[in-house]
Amino acid sequence: MSKNYRIILSGGGTGGHIYPAIAIANEMKQRYPDAKFLFVGAKDRMEMEKVPQAGYDIEGLWISGIQRELTLKNLMFPFKLINSLFNARKIVKRFKPDVVIGTGGFASGPILQAAAGKRIPALIQEQNSFPGITNKLLGKKVQKICVAYDGLDRFFPAGKIIKTGNPVRQSLLNIASKREEAKAFFNLVPDKKTLLVIGGSLGAKRINELLKKELDYLQVRNVQIIWQCGKLYYETYKIYSHTKHVQVHAYLNDMDLAYAAADIIISRAGASSVSELCIVGKPVIFIPSPNVAEDHQTKNAMAIVEKNAAVLIKESDLEVDFENKFSLLVESKEKQEQLGKNIKKLALVNATKDIADEVEKLLQK
């Protein structure tokens, strides 16, 4: 029987917070076609564009994070916080949700706080191996916390934690069967190893600089490259496309085919990327961004590296370590197979369904 549940979801700032929220909403909509959904995001952030594209309504709060240095934005923060808490309470009062789901990002704090004040059941989906300040504080107030890594009882009440993994694109679940299609799609040379380089939708400046510098080195090792340099950097790096078996893309829409074509992957270590790469099951070199809150990406990558399931190179060590670590990997089929097998063991493929199950339990209480 379809129920007219009312569900608020909040997550934003980056794709890593937005896409899990959309994946959870899609799963709940499939189970409850008559349910009403409302997203709450931060004004002027990418969720205000991406959520309507996915077919959902969204309201924006005037909220942002605290900068690391003293800035005008920091002086505004208390006013933004008070304003967003006030407006979050108004949204909750008006929409009357049966459950509230937070997937991280600035706006999820005020809306989960407002839900707690009204005793509305709430769930956090924590993507990282090391939670941010907002989720640590809210962990005491919500009923359930869905996580992707072990050991989060250091930060959250153990009785509320359910290990589900992070929602990922369903198209990644059977990429092994797409390998031939992928090679044809990217027009690859059959006898060369394929390196896939991904630095997020906007791009990763340091990874792009590294690749430009190492193109000759990679060519000597008989490697062809699918290089997603990001929208911000495409104009700078597109000149390298189709030289020395390199193809440069601003953005890769067919990520399932890109993963299927790859033999080795270089990637940032955002939570969603790490979860996807576990499902993909290919050898990965993580180059974490050092510019994210609380160094999340290094911690995410270390959780994989400690299980002998990936290689980690810090940005500060690229000059010294890259050629050495890449050579050890590209020249050892055994090492490639070992990393691929070990990272695949960490995959949690039913994350979206398992999180939706936990949301259902809260609705039925």
Per DSSP, the residues of 123-162 read EEEE-SSS--HHHHHHTTTSSEEEESSS-GGGTS-GGGEE
Closest CA to 266 of 232, 338, 216, 315: 315
Q: Return all residues near 218 (Cβ < 8 A) that are at least 6 apart.
A: 195, 225
The rounded distance, in Å, linking the Cα atoms of 299 and 129 is 6
Residue 2 confidence (pLDDT)? 57
The rounded distance, in Å, linking the Cα atoms of 233 and 205 is 8
The rounded distance, in Å, linking the Cα atoms of 185 and 222 is 20
Domains and CATH numbers, the chain: 6-166+350-363 (3.40.50.2000), 171-345 (3.40.50.2000)
Residue 190 confidence (pLDDT)? 86
Closest CA to 45 of 57, 25, 61, 22: 61
Closest CA to 356 of 38, 72, 28: 28
Residue 68 confidence (pLDDT)? 54
Amino acid letter for position 302: M
Exposed, middle or buried: residue 37 (CB in 10 Å: 0-12, 13-18, 19+)?
buried
C-alpha count within 13 angstroms, C-beta hemisphere, residue 76: 10
The rounded distance, in Å, linking the Cα atoms of 281 and 308 is 13
- Bridge partners of 145? 124, 161
- Bridge partners of 198? 228, 267
Amino acid letter for position 209: E
| SS3 of residue 289 by DSSP | coil
Residue 279 confidence (pLDDT)? 94
Amino acid letter for position 69: E
Residue 61 confidence (pLDDT)? 85
Alpha-carbon distance values, 176 to 179, 242, 258, 260, 345 (Å): 6, 26, 12, 6, 16
The rounded distance, in Å, linking the Cα atoms of 235 and 226 is 16
Query: In degrees rounded to 5, what are phi and psi of residue 310?
Result: -170, 170
Question: Which stretches of the chain drop beneath a pLDDT of 70?
Answer: 1-2, 65-74, 201-202
* Count of residues in the chain: 365
- Bridge partners of 36? 6
Sheet containing 161-163, strands listed edge to edge, beginning at the edge strand earlier in sequence: 58-61, 36-42, 6-10, 99-102, 122-126, 144-147, 161-163
Residue 67 confidence (pLDDT)? 56
